[in-house]
Amino acid sequence: MAVPDPDETDRGVRIRKIVHVDMDAFYASVEQRDDPKLRGRPVVVAWRGNRSVVCAASYEARRFGVRSAMPALRAERLCPDAVFVPPDFVRYRAVSRQTREIFLRYTDMIEPLSLDEAYLDVTENKAGLPTATKVAKAIRQAIREELNLTASAGVAPNKFLAKIASDWKKPDGLFVIQPDEVDAFLPPLPVERLPGVGKVTADRLASFGVRTVGDLRAMEIAATEGYFGRHGLRLRELAFGIDENPVEPDRPTKSISAEDTFERDISLEETEEAIRRMAEKVWAASRKEERIARTVVLKLKTAEFKILTRSLTQPEPPASCEELTEIALALRERVQMPLGQRYRLIGVGLHNFREPGSDPGGEATQPELFDGETETERLDEAEPPAPDAR
């Protein structure tokens, strides 16, 4: 063993080059590209209907405060002159495949996040370009010239920094975070910029005086872990710009879910509104998938951090947002907890994604076709009880 394996000696010092490409206002931009009458006008991509949500808004519409995932009715109030266009996912998917063809000229290491976003590992690139920045520029140029669309790109040594970078100069921008710039770039950012920091975590961090990534860096490691458990250690790594997650090519979606932690613990009866909201989010996200899911899952976390899940698998996937919502609400009836039980979180999910047109159950799952219902109950050990933050 006199000669060390070069892979072994390189491990830990090899700097990765990650590009995050994010199409600008993707669905709305495709609509404007394909219909000249829509160019320069506020365009909102959404189905009509009382409960429908905005799938995408053009930058002209965003100036009025319209954002994706907001109720379509609200968008209409904010921007009465907006042109509403129903989404055409067949066309968006076709364009998404074209962007992938462009990425493939430079790397096979492509991890799509949705139809309009992907991580690319270009540590080695097929075109032999000298830097990742040149790869990102070439990709943006090809998207502009060949597809008549714009994309923003971020270049960084890991995935989470590349994603922050792609957002930095959006729309139609390119931003590069060099490895030796990370320590200057991260500390001034608000903690909300870190992945996994939602409102609840941000509020708890703020109660300890932690508002920026720099504050988080300065927090005692024992305190970070004591208050936030394993999640805290992960946040600390991110604060120091560490993210070893690899780009995972073509990881098929296994499930889509959305969950919400309440400001205060609430009763089962009070969860209806949140269930409806989460079902809408999940439904909108599932429209971006080529594959379909038959299993609807309702998740509840009690005030004591016990997790309950109830699920229903039917021969056909839910056909509409309304049906998904009805199933999720019906699953709530299967929760049998003592009267007065309070809950801190609810989640709605779609599981078991399959190719459309494939045998709905597959042979292995035939037996559950008509009474496909499962139930699990377990204690969530990953999350420590919340200390009183007030």
The residues that touch Mg ion, with contacts defined as CB under 5 A, are 22-23, 26, 116
117 among known catalytic residues: yes
Q: Nearest approach, Cβ of 29 to Mg ion (angstroms)?
A: 9
Nearest residue to 44 (alpha-carbon basis) of 91, 78, 94, 89: 78
- Residue 302's SS3 state is strand
Least separation in angstroms between residue 117's CB and Mg ion is: 6
CB 355 within 8 A of CB 314: no
- CB-wise, 47 or 92, nearer to Mg ion? 92
Cβ(328)–Cβ(350) below 8 Å: no
Rounded Cα–Cα distance for residues 18 and 110 (Å): 10
Least distance to Mg ion from the beta carbon of 142, Å?
17
Catalytic residue among 31, 60, 111, 117: 117
* For Mg ion, the closer CB: 23 or 155: 23
- In whole angstroms, the minimum distance from the beta carbon of 138 to Mg ion comes to 19
Per DSSP (E only), the strands in 115-220 are 117-121, 151-156, 174-176
- Which residue, 163 or 310, has its beta carbon nearer to Mg ion? 163
Residue number, 149 or 247, with CB nearest to Mg ion: 149
The residue ranges of DSSP E strands in the chain, in sequence order, are 18-23, 43-45, 56-57, 83-85, 110-114, 117-121, 151-156, 174-176, 255-267, 292-302, 306-313, 342-354, 372-379
Bridge partners, residue 237, by sequence: none
Find the shortest distance in angstroms from Cβ 167 to Mg ion: 9
Q: Which residue has the tokens 């365009």?
A: 43
Q: Which is nearer to Mg ion, 172 or 383 (CB)?
A: 172
Cβ neighbors of 358 (< 8 A, separation 6 or more) are none
Residue type, 343: Y
Non-local (6+) Cβ contacts of 84 within 8 A are 44, 45, 46, 48, 72, 76
Could you tell me the smallest distance in angstroms from the CB atom of residue 111 to Mg ion?
15
Nearer to Mg ion, 147 or 296 (CB): 147
Query: CB of 234 within 8 A of CB of 245?
Result: no
Task: Write out the catalytic residue numbers.
Answer: 117
